[in-house]
Amino acid sequence: MTVVYHLWLREVKRYLRSRPQIIGSIAQPLLYLLVLGFGLGPVFAQSGQGSYLQFIAPGVVGMAILFTSVFSGIGLLWDRQFGFLKETLVAPVPRLQIMLGRTLGGATIASIQGALILLVCIVAGFRPYSFAAVPLALVFMLLVGLVFAGLGTAIGSTLKDMQGFQLIMNFLVMPIFFLSGALFPLNNLPTALTFATRADPLSYGVDGLRGALIGVTQFGIATNLSVLAVVAAGFVVLGAWAFSRIQI
Amino acid sequence: MIHVENLVKTFGEVKAVDGISFHVPAGEIFAFLGPNGAGKTTTIQMLTTLLRPSSGTMKLDGLDPVAQPLQARSRFGIVFQDPSLDVELTAYENMDLHGALYHVPKKTRIERIETLLTLFELWDRRRSFVKTFSGGMRRRLEIARGLLHTPKILFLDEPTLGLDPQSRNQLWTHVKHLNETEGVTVFLTTHYMDEAERTAHRIGIIDHGHIVAQGTAQGLKEQTGADSLEGAFLALTGSTIRDERADAADQMRQMAKMWRR
């Protein structure tokens, strides 16, 4: 357990020390929040759906967590490049513990990042229907972080260099984001799109965050929690398996 | 302590290690010499569970690194040829994390970190981030870290690359001391023949994935009729210059360099 803790601590320390990275990763969600939030706001309101800023803020939080956690998993590639990965791989520690430390660390920093974005949203005018629901939102953040940190670790363990990175970005991470209902409501969609959005784990995360923060949910809090927990467990197991297969 | 039998590793069509066999008894310092790309590092990577061999058998203290990687890892320590520090952490944090990974008890860890960082003259810089360190300082830190726990077998893959003579001297004195007082078996590679001759009890020479000679420095000199170990080495391996295989990590390192400028 101490090993898991130390590797978790390493991830968190590295995150807290990289100020430019923190600020940089706030910029993109902020752009979505402000440009789309205020840009599409009037259209959204005219169609009788209420405030778009209220609607999109939980989606933007989900987006920040998705990106941060996938990147933390892919950060494995940098450790491979700078050699630190070897140092952990030859240590007399089960690789599962190393992987868990890294992945929990990734989920933690993703949640911190999500909480930070939530704060930014509140500054921009977003209002949770009740601040008492914030702890539940944090649970969802951590679960979403775990899902995608596990996935990121699985990807990072399989890729050998940065060339596959663009591919993952465009064919996996962006679709996960766009299909999650972060930007539009998931009801009354064409059948194909309905299936795609139901298959996207982030949909349940964003819906859960919406349920917690603005009290509106499509699938229900219990469904969201259980789907995310199962998928998180699945991806962490997948990540652990991929990690245990790494050769230098 | 180290038994290797008919070990083979192929990368695509290239046979990096082609059926080598050797044996290092407990308490011996064994130097593994060879030109660039001869298969030294590949051999060490297989012995240290980082690569799976294509065929052949290995035993570390009676344990098979392929079948029992976890137990095998608890038997050795290693100083890698290329960097393996976390540059975003401080020198002390790198040492401390290593101690935690190797289950060195907290009290011992604190004492040994101080001793080793002092020995390699890094104690004053313990709170500095490794990214601010020069190449030589990083190298010294890697070595200090590799010595933090006392393993049964110590692998040193070109540990003195880029070190000044003072630090080199410190390193070999310390390694010899560990070998004599704690009976640590040492498996080292180097390009400096004088180091091998002074430190190692026995020497193996590898070229093109084959072991071309094994014996004491004296024995190798007699075998080839050369008057120095360097002469013997050149007689055995020829004088052509070799190319090394660039792997994915090397390519990425080059890419990262491009991005930074």
Asked if residue A156 lies in contact with residue A240, where contact means CB atoms within 8 angstroms, the answer is no
Q: Which residues of B touch A87 (CB under 8 A)?
A: 80, 84-86, 98, 101
Does residue B260 have a pLDDT over 60?
no
Task: Give the model's pLDDT for residue A18.
Answer: 86
Task: Give the model's pLDDT for residue B38.
Answer: 86
Q: What's the pLDDT band for B161 if we cut at 50, 70, 90?
A: confident
Quote the CA–CA distance of B123 and B160 in Å, as a whole number: 20
Q: What's the pLDDT band for B253 if we cut at 50, 70, 90?
A: low
- Report percent pLDDT > 70 for chain A: 100
Contact B98 A87 (CB under 8 A): yes
Quote the CA–CA distance of A133 and A215 in Å, as a whole number: 9
Contact A248 B50 (CB under 8 A): yes
Contact A82 B97 (CB under 8 A): no
CB pairs under 8 A between A and B: 89
- Which domain range does residue A72 map to? 2-244
Q: Which residues of B touch A7 (CB under 8 A)?
A: 97
Does residue B133 have a pLDDT over 70?
yes
Q: Looking at the partner chain, which of A10, A81, A248 has a beta carbon nearest the beta carbon of B86?
A: A10
- Report percent pLDDT > 70 for chain B: 92
A100 contact partners, CB below 8 Å, separation of at least 6: A4, A7, A236, A240
Of residues B145, B91, B82, B99, the one with CA closest to residue B122: B91
Task: Give the model's pLDDT for residue A220.
Answer: 93
Average pLDDT on B118-138 reads 92
Task: Find the radius of gyration of the CA atoms of chain A.
Answer: 18
Distance from CA of B70 to the nearest CA of A (A): 6
The number of folded domains in chain A is: 1
Q: Looking at the partner chain, which of B52, B86, B88 has a beta carbon nearest the beta carbon of A247?
A: B52
Does residue B247 have a pLDDT over 80?
no
Say if B260 is an interface residue toward chain A (CB within 8 Å).
no
Higher pLDDT, B201 or B258: B201
Asked if residue A140 lies in contact with residue A201, where contact means CB atoms within 8 angstroms, the answer is no
Task: Give the model's pLDDT for residue B258.
Answer: 54
Of residues B92, B108, B147, the one with CA closest to residue A13: B92
- Report percent pLDDT > 90 for chain B: 55
Q: What's the pLDDT band for B248 if we cut at 50, 70, 90?
A: low
Question: Tokens for B240?
Answer: 């052509």
Chain A, nearest residue to B105 by Cα: A2
Quote the CA–CA distance of A86 and A65 in Å, as a whole number: 28
On average, the pLDDT of chain B sits at 88
Question: Tokens for A167?
Answer: 């591919």
Quote the CA–CA distance of B165 and B188 in Å, as a whole number: 18
CATH class of B26-50+63-75+151-260: alpha beta
Q: What is the pLDDT of residues A94-106, one digit of tens each?
A: 999 999 999 999 9
Helix axes B106-119, B91-101, angle to 10 degrees: 140
Of residues A159, A125, A139, A126, the one with CA closest to residue A212: A139
DSSP string, B167-203: HHHHHHHHHHHHHHHH--EEEEE-S-HHHHHHH-SEE
Contact B50 A17 (CB under 8 A): no
Q: What is the pLDDT of residues B214-227, one digit of tens each?
A: 999 888 888 888 88
Quote the CA–CA distance of B19 and B6 in Å, as a whole number: 4
Q: What are phi and psi of B85, to 5 degrees?
A: -90, 160
Contact A84 B102 (CB under 8 A): no
Q: Which residues of A touch B253 (CB under 8 A)?
A: 81
Quote the CA–CA distance of B222 and B232 in Å, as a whole number: 9
- State the pTM of this model: 0.87
Task: Give the model's pLDDT for residue B261.
Answer: 40
Q: What's the pLDDT band for B120 if we cut at 50, 70, 90?
A: confident
Task: Give the model's pLDDT for residue B132.
Answer: 94
Q: What is the pLDDT of residues B76-87, one digit of tens each?
A: 999 998 889 999
Contact A89 B49 (CB under 8 A): yes
Task: Give the model's pLDDT for residue A107.
Answer: 96
Looking up tokens 């990289």 gives A18
Q: What is the pLDDT of residues B167-192, one digit of tens each?
A: 888 889 989 998 999 899 999 999 89
Beta bridge partners of B58: B4
Stretches in chain A below the pLDDT threshold 50: none
Q: Looking at the partner chain, which of A14, A18, A90 has a beta carbon nearest the beta carbon of B48?
A: A90
In whole angstroms, what separates CA A101 from the centre of its chain? 17
Q: Looking at the partner chain, which of A84, A92, A248 has a beta carbon nearest the beta carbon of B102?
A: A92
Q: Looking at the partner chain, which of A81, A89, A93 has a beta carbon nearest the beta carbon of B50?
A: A89
Q: What's the pLDDT band for B254 if we cut at 50, 70, 90?
A: low
